[in-house]
Structure formats: structure tokens, C-alpha cells
Chains A and B, each alone.
Chain A
Amino acid sequence: MSFGSPAENYAEAALDLNRLLIKHPSGTYFLRMEGNAMEKEGIFDGDILVVDRALEAGNNKIIIGELNNSLTIRKFLIKEGKNYLTNGDSQPQLIKPTDNFSLWGVVTYTIRSFEK
């Protein structure tokens, strides 16, 4: 006869980083930051970016944008009906109607190793 473990009734699933960091598993991708363009936003060279393609772009969100067939990471700004990309450093770049722009994904988290 067994009485089981006294802790059994308190069992909870162990914390799972996947569940914390990934809301949409089929739409989440990992990218790697290269260079210092986003240091003002706290994103550093070599950081792993968690990017969710299921989310919409919004003011002040960090996004991966597809601008004229190349991908870039920037902060997205909406001001007076116009859309801009900025890295917090230089003058925000206006997305012109002639630009071929689309949202690739929204950066939701970054992962940085301190043991490099």
C-alpha cells in the first residue's frame, strides 16, 4: 500500500520559459542583433530577439520591418497619421508612400548572455 507523496497535492508544472516568451509558437522566430544601431533601446550586438509575427505594429513598438526588400530592426512611430522608423538616435525616417514597406514581426523580448 502506498500513501503517495505528501507534496503531491501541491504539484504545479515547472516554470517553462517557452510559455513565458512565446505566445504564438507557429508565428515566433528568433533573430540575432548585429551591430549597435539599437543600443539606445537597450538592444545590443549579439542579443537574441524573440519576434512574434502574429502581432500588429503599434506606436513605440520595436519591430522587424521589411523596407524595400530588406529587413531591418527599428522602433515604429506613428505621428499625425504618418509612420516612421527610428533607432532613437538620428532623425526618424519617414516611411514614404513610394516605399515598399511591410511589417515582418514585433520584437517581444531579447535574450542576452552575460558569459560571453
Chain B
Amino acid sequence: MRRFLLFDCDNFFVSCERVFNPSLKNRPVVVLSNNDGCVVARSNEAKAVGIAMCAPFFKIADKFKALGGVALSSNYELYADMSNRVMALLRSAFDEIEIYSIDEAFAHSEGENLFEKGLNVRNDILRQTGISVSVGIAPSKTLCKLAGETAKKLSSDKVIEIKNQEDALPLLQKIDINDVWGVGRSITPKLNYLGIFTAAELAAMPRSLARSKFGINLEKTILELNGFPCLEGDSHSCQQSLICSRSFEHEIYQLSELKTILSEFTDKACQRLRAQQASASGIVTMVETNRFKDARFYQNSCLISLEENSTNTARFIKAMNQGLERIFRAGLGYKRAGITLVGITPLHESQNSLFSNAKTSEKEQKLMTAFDEINKKLGSKTLYFGAQASGINHYIRRARKSCAYTTNWNDLLKIS
């Protein structure tokens, strides 16, 4: 029988930092977003002293320091490399894995003794990378998630297997529907009104009622909770949207400067899009002034849809420029801006419009592949689009960043 194993790294960013700096162990540690804006990762100790996810750093900085806490800037070079190591170990242990995010992956297996296998792989990852991973094993991905979340709370050997519904029930009874994968906050009050509060109650909900009142997705969730897998590969594993946004150290007033920065973000997002063999159908551009400083807080966003799905950076940059021109208000200082690629579809599934020119789109894909290959071989930024500035990193503040221990010869950990 086919089963899923979810491998989820515990407090991943903090765990990466602790591998190379053990003095960060047993104390509150947080990792901050770009420009040291807000908290994006917390150690268990930081959670225990009440630091909230996404807390603006300047608001908690003094209190956190007084508690003996350490705040670090994001070190994406390090996290990406450590993630690659974890995923490579998973790939060598299982025939099929789906990378769900930087610190999470599903493996599929038809094999026996999966608890033992899960534990062995967990121990191997811990030994080779120093990263602790929680493992949830179940007949469906939704149950995997719940098993994994429960495993996270164990102190060692963090593996939980749900073999059948008898195993699942005591677990489901303890879980709030809000914490069930795929149950949105918007429908929680309605479900509560129907007397459904726990995952066990949701699992027992009549499917026909779920479908007629809430739609097919909730019905799928109910099937999954009952051990029938119906979230298959791509449609769920492919990220629904790709976001690239950032807060800036200094407010930006010039349209041209925003264009340059957002072109850079668009390029990054498009590279990620192509890396996951997908195309997108539109781009949302977002700008925001300083909400902590300016009484005239302004925030706006604009979606520009393309005529057909694309992977072409140039098309998305053009659409982003159109969107930005619509929402840009002169005279304001923008503290944050970003783009989101939406309508993401795996390449082999993407539907082209009636008027699409298959040849043009194939040609464009080849061009983009060549573009990515050259940048990969000769270093990123060898080729870039006209609107981007070369080497734009200067405006990102990462004052508390640790070294790129695994990706830069000049940054190796010094040992004595």
C-alpha cells in the first residue's frame, strides 16, 4: 500500500545557524526578514518567551535582548545550501520525493516498516546536516501533516505513523479544524456553527453536505482525513504563487528606482518559476508606505494578467511596470514593495489561449533556458534584463548575518 512520509525540518533557519554556532543552543534565537524588519523564524526558547511570528523587530528588540535572546539576519545562502543537503539525502533514500518548501518534503513509498525507515532517515539527516526533522507517516498527505505536527512536539525520535483510522482517531480528536491542512479561516466559523470543532468531527462530516455547502476542496479534505489520498502530486505540490517582496532600509520616492528593484524581484521569481518547471498567468505588483511612521499610510496592489501562461521574464517585467504605474503615487516614500506571480501551472499542463502561437512560446522557453544556463555557469548576473541594476544587493540590510559557511571560500567557519 502506498504511503506518504512528510519530512519537516524543525525551526529550520535557526537550526541551520546553530550547526555552525553551537553557542546559540539553549537560548532564544530569532531570524529576521530582509532589512531586519520582522521575525521570520524562532527557536523553541523564543516561542516560549512569547515572541510572535512576524513581530516587527524594533518593537521587541530591547525586551528580547534583556531575555538573553540573539537576533540574526536571514542568511539565505546558508539556508538554501543546507536545504539542498537535506533534500539530497531524502532523494537517495526514496524513489520519489516532492519538495514542498525550503524545509519540507513529501516522500512516497510502497515499502514496509516505514516507521523504522523514517526514523533511520531522520537520524541520517540529523547526523550529516545537524538539522532535526519531524516525520509524519500516513496514508494521505493531510494526515501526514497532522502526524508531523504532533511529532514536532516529541522530545526525541520525532516520528509518528498513522497506520489506520484507529491510529488516527485519538490524534484527530485533539486537533482544532483551524490546524487542518486546507481548511481556511474563512470557513471555520461556519463549520463551528454546524458543531464541527475538531479534526475528528470534520472527518465524520457527511461528504455530500461538505460538497454542497463548502465545495469540492473540503470534501477532499474529509476524504484525506479518512485515509483516502486525493491530493495528488503536482496540483498540490506546485506552489500556487511565488512571492518576492521586501522592506527597504530607506524610503524610496522615485518610480524609476522602484522599477529597477521590482524588475530584480520579477527576475528572481521567474527563475524560481522555471526551476520548478512551471509557468504563470499573471503578476501582482504591491507597494506600501511606512505603516509605523506615516499617518497617510498607503498600500496598493495591482494584478496584470498575461494573455497566456508564460515563463518569460521580459513579459512579466513589462506587466509589472504597467501595474506599478497604475498604483504609484508620487510624493510618497515607499517602505515596502513586492511582486507575486499567480496562476502557476506545471508546464506540461498549462493551457494556452485560443490565439497562442505555440512556436513563439516554445522559442521563448528555449531562450529562457539558455539565459538560466549561462547565469548558472558564469555566475548570476552575467546576463540580466535592461531594467535591472547589476548587483543590486547594496540596498538590502543584513547587519546581523552569519557567514556563508558553505557557499563562499572566504567565509569558512574558523576552528581552533
Contact = CB atoms under 8 A, between A and B. Distances in A.
Interface of A: 24-27, 29-35, 37, 48-49, 53-54, 64, 66, 69-73, 104
Interface stretch (B100-108, B123-131, B229-237, B383-391): B123-131
Contact of A53 (B25, B130, B412, B414): B130
Given A53-B127, A53-B128, A54-B128, A32 B413 contact: yes
A30 B404 CA distance: 11
Most chain-B Cβ atoms within 10 A of its Cβ — which of A26, A37, A64? A26
Contacts, number: 61
Contacts of B416: 33-35, 37, 72-73
B60 interface: no
A69 B23 contact: yes
A69 B415 contact: no
Contacts of B92: 26
B205 interface: no
Given A69-B22, A69-B23, A69-B25, A27 B127 contact: yes
A31 B412 CA distance: 5
Contacts of A30: 406, 409, 412
Nearest to B26: A69
Interface string B77-93: 00000000110110010
B412 A32 contact: yes
A28 to B, nearest CB: 9
Given A31-B413, A69-B23, 8 more contacts: A26-B86, A30-B409, A34-B414, A49-B415, A53-B129, A54-B124, A69-B25, A71-B22
Contacts of B127: 27, 53-54
Given A26-B85, A53-B130, A31 B414 contact: yes
Given A27-B127, A27-B128, A53-B127, A73 B26 contact: no
B415 A26 contact: no
Nearest to A68: B22
A48 B412 CA distance: 9
Contacts of A31: 412-415
Nearest to A35: B416
B128 A24 contact: yes
Contacts of A71: 22, 413, 415
Contacts of A66: 22
6 contacts: A27-B127, A27-B128, A30-B409, A32-B412, A32-B413, A34-B414
A30 B413 CA distance: 8
Contacts of A73: 415-416
B415 A29 contact: no
A73 B415 CA distance: 6
Contacts of A70: 22-23
A96 to B, nearest CB: 18
B405 interface: yes
A27 B88 CA distance: 10
B415 A64 contact: yes
Interface string B118-136: 0000001001111000000
Contacts of A72: 415-416
Interface string B1-37: 0000000000000000000001101100000000000
Nearest to B91: A26
Contacts of B26: 69
Contacts of A48: 409, 412
Nearest to B126: A53
A29 B22 contact: no
